[in-house]
Structure 1
Amino acid sequence: MEAYPQANGQTEVTNRIIVQALKARLYGKGKNWVEELPSVLYAYWTTPRSCTRETPYSLVYGSEAVLPVEIGQSSTRIESYPSNNDQARVIELDLVEERRDQAAIRMEAYRSRLMKSYNKHV
């Protein structure tokens, strides 16, 4: 018998969101889900969460992902980023822990508001 460590449910929630997005993409089409998975994952990683107001990508890498449309056409964000980005990248990586701490504080406040609302109705 295999033992699984107890999780906080976040993995199941993430998997459910990804499966729902895949089903929406595949509805009425004869496509293979493997072909759609990269775009669904990219959308998940670059969409801000309501509880943290951050994207999962930014919490891991310290900056927002460059969208494919921004690569082909110049955008204000791409133009304002320094061409020698080594120093800017080091600064972003230094600040990633602070960004994660702020997201954790926002998530705890969100959780507290949810519990307060739930307890009010129970």
Structure 2
Amino acid sequence: MKITQSFTSVAYPQAKCQTEVVNRIIVQALKTRLQGKGKEWVEELPSVLWAYRTTPRAPTQETPFNLVHGSEAVLPIEIGQSSVWLETYPDDNDQSRAMELDLVE
């Protein structure tokens, strides 16, 4: 029996570069928000991530949130106030989302 043991690793080199770019953008945004405050970055991280996820990217003209979830994000301030978006957005969206996904080419 000529059995050989081979080792392999799963890698996607392009993803490593993309991750580094995203991390660099987030770190730069944190540095801008903190401007020398130092250890308070944990408190600023959620707002920096929200800003990153809801800002349209140049190549796609879409937000990362929209690409992942298929709809635009509702701003936290819109939750407490009445807005056109909240008034026109149906509460039971499951059936319409399923129909939209069925119609996607």
Alignment TM-score > 0.5, same fold = yes
1:88 paired with 2:68, answer no
The match for 1:20 is 28
The match for 2:73 is 65
- Larger RCO (CA under 8 A, 6+ residues apart): 1
User: Structure 1 residue 72: deviation in Å?
Assistant: 1.0
Change in 2 beyond 3 A, CA 1:59/1:40: same
Q: Which residue identity lines up with residue 43 of structure 1 in the other structure?
A: A
1:45 aligned to 46, 53, 62, which one?
53
More moved, 60-69 vs 27-36: 27-36
| TM-score between the two structures when normalised by the length of structure 2 | 0.76
Q: Which residue identity lines up with residue 67 of structure 1 in the other structure?
A: L
Identity %: 66
Structure 1: 5+ residue runs without aligned partners? 99-122
When Rg is computed on C-alpha atoms for both structures, the one with the higher figure is 2
Q: CA RMSD in A?
A: 2.2
| TM-score between the two structures when normalised by the length of structure 1 | 0.66
1:55 paired with 2:63, answer yes
Change in 2 beyond 3 A, CA 1:17/1:30: closer
Aligned residues: 94
